[in-house]
Amino acid sequence: MARTFKDRNKVGTALGKGPALPPGSDVVSAFCQNVERVFKIGEDVSDVTDRFFEFVENNAQLLAEYRDLESVLGRHRLNIMIGRWIKDYYGLENIKFVPAKRSSLIQAYTSHRRV
């Protein structure tokens, strides 16, 4: 069963765990890993961030979890953390900043290529 973060105190308690991680990293990482279990990255990774957010947006349960995290961390901070997780998890290199075309959860994102 997927984890939700409706209890602000539980999320607040989870924030800041880990020695050098920014606050919220562990709960955002857990959320991203949950998405990754069902999301397929595909061969073209240039728009993987846009597709990742679109996948979340089109899945009611994942979107509810995203909204819970957003209510605590704020959209901008959460989206930056998810974007960094995607880059690091898949071992990608940044190319350029581009406008989002698929997801309304983000306005723009950094496109990538495989290293």
Q: List strand residue ranges (DSSP E) for 12-104, in order.
A: 92-99
Confidence grade of residue 19 (pLDDT, cut at 50, 70, 90): very low
The mean pLDDT of 10-27, rounded to a whole number, is: 55
Rg (alpha carbons) of the chain, rounded to whole number: 14
Domain regions of the chain by residue span = 8-15+22-114
Q: What is the pTM of this model?
A: 0.81
For 58-108, what is each residue's pLDDT tens digit? 999 999 999 999 999 999 999 999 999 999 999 999 999 999 999 999 999
